[in-house]
Structures are given as C-alpha cells and as structure tokens.
Chain A
Amino acid sequence: MGRMFRLHRIFVAQYMKNLMEYKVDFLTGAISFLIGQIVQIATIGIIFSQIPDLEGWGFNEILFIYGFSLIPKGIDHLLFDNLWSVGYFIVRKGDFDKYLTRPINSLFYVIAEKFCVDAFGELFMGIVLIVYSLIQLKLTLTWYMIPLFIVAVVFATLIYTALKIGTSAIAFWTKASGHITHMVYMTNDFSKYPTTIYNKVVRTLITYVIPFAFTAYYPASYFLGKGEPLFCIGGTVIAAVVLMFISVCIWNRGIKAYESAGS
C-alpha cells in the first residue's frame, strides 16, 4: 500500500512536469469545462426566472444538488480519466501489453499513469455552487455533516470509477468498448435533478441499475434536510462497494481473456 502511494506521487510529479510544458493546453481544458458548466447553470437560471420552484425544489436547492454532482464527477475525472483510453484504443492497439509486463497491479498502473487537470474547471464550479447555495439557503450544518460529506463524496466518486472500470474491461473481450462506457456514463446527467421529477422506470434505473442518483441527488438531499441519512449516505456507500467489487471481478477476468493485437 505504501509503495503504491509512493509510486502514485512519482507518477503525478512526472505528469506535472509534462503539464508545465503545455500551459495553454491546461488552460483551454479547464476553461472549457468551466464555461460548459456556466452555460448549463444559465439554462437552469432562465427556467427558474419563470417559475417559483420545480416540484417543491427551489432554485438554490437545485444549485446545491447540481454543485454536489460536480464534485465526485470532477474527482473521478481528475484521477481516473485514463480508463477511457483503455476502452477506446489501448486494448485495440495492443498497447495493454505494457501494463501487464510491469511489476505493479495493472489496474493501478492504468489509473495512476494519467492525471487529468481539465477537471479543475468542474471542481471549481462545484465548490462555488455549493458554497453559494449554502449561503443563500442559510442552512445550519452540524459538525458531523462534514465527515459525512467527505464519506459521501469519496464513495460517490467510486461509483463513477467502478462503472468506468467495469465497462472499459469489456474491451478485453470485444477489443473496444469506449462507446459502451460513454453510454453508461451519460446517464450521470440524470443525477443533477431531483429524482422525483422522473417516472418510475427512470427512477429505478438510476437508483438500482446504474446508481448515479447516489452520486448527487440522494446525498445532497440529505444535506438539504430532505432525506433519510441511512438511505442517502448508506446507499451511496453500499452502491459503491457492490459496484466496485463487480467491476474489479470483471477487470481481473478480462485480463485473463486479453489477447494482444496482431502487429
């Protein structure tokens, strides 16, 4: 475990050097994501300029849920972005050989290799939205909400990561699975709004099948004082643990099925 942390630090330091070389790159990426979020929030703002609340949820509450959704998404984007490449081209090109021949766990190596700083745009926006909406809502937070918040964010991040690990591991059998990861990943947008606005099918899907609702709406509604802590935070933890277990199993089986590419 200690060795892994040390290795991770070296990888990050290496990547940081790379980054300093391409400052414009970093700025374009981070600013793009920031502007992307601003545009979406402007859309919500325009809608709310016409209605007092959305099925019982006020503007600031929606902003809080939205902001919350960006934090785990951003952390996953920051640390685990290289998984996308596995499904898109690493396996197809046969480049996965590299990861198997090194004396460290292949999954760890894939993850640690890259560090995606574009995510700072999302993280920054998420923090701004959470702070702003908390001030506007004048919520009183008790001390134990802070550790609970951290727990919720960590496990929510793992939900994202687990779904990416599981779907990108499909590439070990099919050669490419980036489009499957994309399809599953896109459902995360459902979590930015209260699940009460959806019909039963969608609600069941995002709670129990692809549990993105636990990455934002459920934990956020607990902090807003509208949800059961056991279901909202406990559910996030359970969903993350179960998904991670399944995904790592798929990954390990996948590695055994991996055949390098021809040339």
Chain B
Amino acid sequence: MKFKKFMRTYRPFTRAGMLESVAYRANFICFLLGEIMSCFIMFFVWKAVFNSTSGQDFMGFSMNDMVVYLFITFLTGYLTYSDGTYAIATEIRDGSIAMRMIKPCSFDMCFLFQELGNKIFNVLVIFTPIVVGVEAYKWVITGSCQFNVVNFLLYVVSLILAYLISFYFNVSYGFMAFYLKNLWGADILKECIVNFLSGATIPLAFMPPFLASVLSFLPFSSLSYTPVMIYMGMYSPFEIVYKMLFQVFWLAVMILISKLVWRHAVKRLCSQGG
C-alpha cells in the first residue's frame, strides 16, 4: 500500500524528466558525440603506448582489455552522471527551490525520480550500442563470443549502486557550490577530481601502489572502477561481494551526509523572489 502511494507520488516526476530528455534529443546526441571523442583520443594514445612497449601487456592489461575499459568506463560515467550539483545550486540561486519545499514530497526523491526519467532515454540511446559494440569488437579480435551473462548482470547491479552514490554525492556537493558561488568552475573542479580518483581517467591498477590502495578505500572507486572491473571479469567472486558491500557502505554514508547538509542548508536558505 505504502509502495503504491510512493509510486503514485513520484511517477509524474519521472514522466516529466523523460519528456524533457526527449524534447532535447538533438542536443543530447551532439553532446554525446563531443564527449565520446575523448574515448577515441585515448584509444589512439593507448594504441601508441602498446606499440611502444616491448611485451603484449601493459601492467596486466592487453590492448583488448584497454578498449573494453575505455568504452565501458565512458558508458558507466555517462549513466552514473548526476546533474544534482548544478540543478540544486541553480535552484538555490534563483529561488525556485522554495517551490520544492512547499510540495508534499521529499526533496531528494523528487530530484531522483526526475533524473531517472531523464536517464531512460539515455539508456536506450547509448547503453545497447556501446555494449553490443564492445562485445562485437572482442568477438572480432579473439574469434569467439566472450559475453558473460553473470558478469553483465552483476555489472548492472553495481552500476545502479554507483549511480545512487553519485546522486547523493552530487546533492551534497550542490549545497557546497552554493557557498563557492562559481557553479561552473566548481562543477568542472568536481568532474576532474572525481574522474581521476575514481579511476575513470586511468585504471587504478596503473597508479603507484600506495596511491592505488588509498584510492580503493575512498568512495570514488565505487563510482566507476568497481562496476567496470566487474564487467571485465577482473574480480574473483569473493572480491565482487566485498566490493559491492563496499558500495553499499558508501551509499549509506552519502545518504547520511546529504541529509545532514540539507538540514543545515535549509536553515540558512533565504529565497529570492521564487
């Protein structure tokens, strides 16, 4: 019963988000093409790196692994991306956040369901082509189909956890941006740091051992590195369980932080016009 009411409250937000993303589909596709360019740049850089190394492998990765890594990392980054920072900071600035506060629904849930609606279109447009493309590439290179259903399903679970961590992290950071004022700068700062710390720019395995072990304990590796490694089948069953529990742990921490920040910020909030 409770669940039904919950869904009835939040479904309209999902619908609105979905319509929004379909309305701006041309923008979305152009953006996607712009962003995926960086994947191709890194593809050529890695190809040159592999040409310059004497052996077949580069620190345990073959060129084949590297291609899978690049594109699945891109996909993971895109699907776990959350616009919370910008959306919240903008709403605080122009005062429209007041409208959210007078509605009889939870603040973060509204955002979450709206963004999920936004994601549906993204998933349709990029998820299937990238996964099929990557698998086809592996098939052509190795000569046999290597698609692993179990790893794939575990990847999806881990991806959802990663998205939720990212969402709550961005909600918290959105309030930070409120203090920092320069939204755009603060957002770019966050992107760069998170991409590096989460192993999206370069696999954690390539980093100096000390740095890698520190980073694997921070929440960022849960955002990208964990799901990607699961997809690639780099983890043993024990490691998968361990890493996923780790994701759940950081999700709980992020939810807690976002609630605390929200409570603190509401007291300070001084809406302008609205």
Contact A42:B58 (CB < 8 A) given known A55-B52, A179-B27, A186-B37: no
Chain B residues near A179: list those with CB within 8 A. 26-27, 30-31, 34
Q: Does B21 sit within 8 A of A, measured CB to CB?
A: no
A55/B48 contact (C-beta < 8 A), A29-B184, A186-B35 known: yes
Interface residue? A150 (CB, 8 A): no
Q: Is the CB of A32 within 8 A of B35?
A: no
| Interface residue? B180 (CB, 8 A) | yes
Partner of A31, one of B58, B189, B201: B189
Residue among A24, A36, A185, A197 making CB contact with B189, cutoff 8 Å: A36
Residues in A with CB closer than 8 Å to B207 are: 46
Cα–Cα distance between A197 and B181 once the two chains are bound (Å): 41
Q: Take A42-B196, A186-B38, A197-B44 as given contacts and tell me if A28 and B30 are in contact as well, using a CB distance cutoff of 8 Å.
A: no
Q: Is the CB of A36 within 8 A of B44?
A: no
Q: Which residue of B lies closest to A118 (CB)?
A: B185
Q: CB distance B51 to A199 under 8 Å?
A: no
Does B181 contact A193, Cβ atoms closer than 8 Å? no
- Contact indicator B53/A32 (Cβ below 8 Å): no
* Contact (A190, B37) CB under 8 Å given A32-B185, A51-B53, A197-B47: yes
Nearest CB of chain B from residue A197's CB, rounded to whole Å: 4
How far does the alpha carbon of A199 sit from the alpha carbon of B45 in the complex, in Å? 11
State A77–B3 Cα separation when bound (angstroms).
50
In the bound complex, do residue B51 and residue A55 qualify as a contact, i.e. CB atoms below 8 Å apart?
A: yes
Chain B residue numbers with a CB within 8 Å of A143 are none
The answer to whether B1 has its CB under 8 Å from any CB of chain A is no
Tell me if B34 and A182 are in contact (CB < 8 A): yes
Set of chain A residues within 8 Å of B35, measured between Cβ atoms: 186
Interface size class of B (residues with CB under 8 A): 35 or more
Q: Is the interface of A mostly helix, strand, loop or mixed?
A: helix
With beta carbons under 8 angstroms apart, the residue of A33, A54, A180 that contacts B52 is: A54
Question: Is B38 a contact partner of A24 (Cβ separation < 8 A)?
Answer: no
B40 within 8 Å of A (CB atoms): yes
With a 10 A CB-CB cut-off, give which of A30, A35, A53, A179 has the most chain B CB atoms: A179
Residues A43 and B201 in contact, CB atoms below 8 Å apart: yes
B residues within 8 A CB of A35? 189, 192-193
A180 to B189 Cα, complex, angstroms: 24
- Residues of chain B within 8 A (CB-CB) of A187 are 37
- In this complex, the member of B26, B37, B38, B186 whose beta carbon has the largest number of chain A beta carbons within 10 angstroms is B37
- Do A189 and B37 touch across chains, with their CB atoms under 8 A apart? yes
Q: Mark B173-211, 1 if CB is under 8 A from A, else 0.
A: 000000011101110110111011000011000111000
Q: Knowing A24-B182, A179-B27, A190-B41 are in contact, say whether A32-B49 is a contact too (CB < 8 A).
A: no
Please state if B44 and A29 are interface contacts (CB–CB under 8 Å). no
- A55 contacts which chain B residues (CB < 8 A)? 48, 51-52
B214 close to chain A: CB less than 8 A? no
Closest to B180 in A: A28
Interface string of B22-34 (1 = CB under 8 A from A): 0000110011011
Within the complex, the shortest CB–CB distance from A249 to chain B, in Å, comes to 23
Name which residue of chain B comes closest to A184, CB basis: B34
Interface string of A32-75 (1 = CB under 8 A from B): 11011001101100110011111100000000000000000000
Residues of B within 8 A of A242 (CB): none
Q: Does A198 contact B (CB under 8 A)?
A: yes
Q: Which residues of chain B come closer than 8 Å to A202, judged between CB atoms?
A: 40, 44
**Does chain B have a CB within 8 A of A22?**
yes
Report the bound CA distance from A179 to B27 in whole Å: 6
Chain A residue with Cβ nearest B191: A36
Give the distance in Å from the alpha carbon of A187 to the alpha carbon of B201 in the complex. Answer: 18
Within 8 Å CB of B34, what residues of A?
179, 182-183, 185-186
The verdict on B59 contacting chain A, using a C-beta distance below 8 Å, is yes
Distance, CA A233 to CA B70, complexed state (A): 34
Which residues 219-259 of A have a CB within 8 angstroms of B? none
**A-B contact sample (4 more), CB < 8 A, given A33-B185, A51-B53, A179-B31:** A32-B188, A50-B49, A50-B59, A193-B45
Residue pairs across A and B with Cβ atoms less than 8 A apart, 21 shown, are A24-B182, A28-B182, A29-B184, A29-B185, A31-B189, A32-B182, A35-B189, A42-B196, A46-B207, A50-B58, A51-B49, A51-B52, A52-B52, A54-B52, A55-B51, A179-B27, A179-B30, A182-B30, A185-B34, A190-B37, A193-B48
Which chain B residues have a beta carbon within 8 Å of chain A's beta carbons? Answer: 26-27, 30-31, 33-35, 37-38, 40-41, 44-45, 47-49, 51-53, 58-59, 180-182, 184-186, 188-189, 191-193, 195-196, 201-202, 206-208
The residues of A with any CB-CB pair to B shorter than 8 Å are 22, 24-26, 28-33, 35-36, 39-40, 42-43, 46-47, 50-55, 118, 176, 178-180, 182-183, 185-187, 189-190, 192-193, 197-199, 202
**What 4 pairs across the A-B complex have the smallest Cβ distances?**
A29-B185, A32-B189, A179-B30, A186-B34
